[in-house]
Amino acid sequence: MPDLPRAALDDALAIMRDLRARDAWDRAQTHDSLRPYLNEEMHELDDALRDGDDHAMVGELGDVLLQVLFHAVIAEERGAFDAGHVAGSLVHKMTVRHPWLYGERAGTDREPWEQMKAKGRRSIAEGLPEALPPLHRAHRLQERAAGVGFDWPDATGPAAKVREELAEVEEVIAAHGHDFPTHGVPSGDPGHAALEGELGDLLFAVVNLARKCGVHPSLALDKANAKFQRRFEGIERLAAARGIDVRTAGLAVLDPLWDEVKRGEA
């Protein structure tokens, strides 16, 4: 990236210390006040990674690094830890996670990470952030269960489980006359509660199938969302060109447009 300046990590750390000393806003920040900014920067970096935009990646990685160094400098001021401890934590974690490459076990067979972690974990959820998105949390829980041997040998079992859970969803729908409103469902409605439970089981089974196929469900759904958006925007363009009001046209009119957009992509 020749158009961007280069600097050492020590330079970045030095400017963070200077900002804390001389800028009122930076000096006023705390670990807690910075939490929303870290969350925002992580999402902006994720957008850059998804788009494959190298220029944006550099900027967004810099913003995430800013947050890391910000917290390290605040902790340094408190006498709790500093950036060296943060780097040391990373080095220690990486060497521990790769004993077949470093230390006394170098040259031995590789051991799956989740299997290694399970040896010191008291419960399946220990250490998982509460705020993890549900789809990613399901994936991580399944990975951890697999780390102690609770797993199918291949994708055949999860695929059968998906079919089983789908059948149970269809049974609930049939038992309630296929009549489930899309909004305004009373919280105590037994049919809705039963359907919610079965659909949750179905989603969990699909996540497990994706995991056994080596696909992360969050990435797969993100790409499916983008594909649906792209195709429906294609419907909107065709409809506008033909004088069709998308809001009132209905499925019988819009579905052929959907097929036309798909054929155009092919």
pLDDT range class, residue 112, cuts 50, 70, 90: confident
Last residue of a domain, one of 80, 101, 127: 80
Query: Model confidence over 227-265: pLDDT tens digits?
Result: 999 999 999 999 999 999 999 999 999 999 999 999 999
Residue 38 sits in a domain whose CATH number is: 1.10.287.1080
- Is residue 56 assigned to a domain? yes
Query: Model confidence over 191-201: pLDDT tens digits?
Result: 888 999 999 99
pLDDT at 35 over 60: yes
Residue 62 lies in domain = 9-80
Helices (H), the chain: 9-22, 24-28, 35-51, 54-78, 83-97, 113-118, 134-147, 156-175, 190-212, 217-241, 246-249, 251-265
Cα maximum dimension of the chain? 73
pLDDT at 102 over 70: yes
- Is residue 227 assigned to a domain? yes
- Is residue 252 assigned to a domain? yes
Last residue of a domain, one of 80, 98, 117: 80
Residue that has been written with the tokens 């004088």 in this structure: 243
- Is residue 236 assigned to a domain? yes
What is the percent of the chain where pLDDT is above 90?
73
- Is residue 99 assigned to a domain? no
Query: CB-hemisphere CA count at 13 Å for 149?
Result: 1
pLDDT on residue 99: 86
Contact by Cβ (8 Å): 114, 146? yes
Domain count, the chain: 2
Last residue of a domain, one of 37, 54, 80: 80
For the chain, the average pLDDT equals 91
The CA–CA distances, whole Å, from 130 to 126, 127, 228 equal 10, 9, 30
- Is residue 179 assigned to a domain? no
**Which of these ranges, 121-125, 193-197, 214-218, has the smallest mean pLDDT?**
121-125
- Is residue 97 assigned to a domain? no
